[in-house]
Chains A and B, each alone.
Chain A
């Protein structure tokens, strides 16, 4: 990999992922589970857990790179717009920096929905394993 390399993946926020996330982590906040509550807060559908996106980021790191010899060092994510069950998310990650000394690769990433609206963006730092 080199600076500027870009990776693109598509994800769908399926009901199965949503249900699995709730089952795994027990976050049943009404914003995520109660349509009337979500509507009362100005949304037209229940809002999916932002951390579901981190699962997609995990897939990118673990399965979407040219090498499996990688380990996540740090990650941050900023949420810009909610996403909902059925949304198709376009994920683009670009290599921002490579450190030979630290054996790390830094990516900037962005998620956009099917309407091209920015859902989230962030940074990932991975270490390449020998």
Chain B
């Protein structure tokens, strides 16, 4: 799986969880850029990402990701 594969799947997860078909993620995207990305949807996003890729993060790892691109690399790192 490549970074682009992970990123594309992230976009699908965000669309599904946030109920917004128009979401187009960028690597630099953060919760500040997406109105529906609130604290509760953040939980749903993490749970769905972990399920989709079959990975688990620690709370510290998640805190250290500053944007979507870093989260994708975090997933990719766990898949290799």
A residues with CB within 8 A of B: 73-74, 97, 99-104, 106, 125, 127
Contact = CB atoms under 8 A, between A and B. Distances in A.
Interface string B39-50: 010111011001
Given A97-B47, A104-B46, 17 more contacts: A73-B43, A73-B44, A74-B44, A99-B50, A99-B56, A99-B57, A100-B56, A100-B57, A101-B50, A101-B57, A101-B59, A101-B61, A102-B43, A102-B50, A104-B47, A106-B47, A125-B47
Those 3 A-B pairs whose CB atoms lie nearest each other, nearest first: A101-B57, A102-B46, A101-B62
A72 B44 CA distance: 12
Contact of A127 (B43, B50, B56, B58): B43
Interface of A is mostly: strand
Interface residues of B, number: 14
Contacts of A104: 43, 46-47
Interface in B10-52: 40, 42-44, 46-47, 50-51
A46 to B, nearest CB: 36
A127 B43 CA distance: 8
Contacts of B40: 73
A125 B43 CA distance: 10
A74 B42 CA distance: 13
B57 A97 contact: no
A68 to B, nearest CB: 19
A73 B43 CA distance: 8
B47 to A, nearest CB: 5
Contacts of B56: 99-101
With most chain A CB atoms within 10 A of its CB, the pick from B46, B47, B57, B59 is B47
A73 B61 CA distance: 22
A73 B46 CA distance: 13
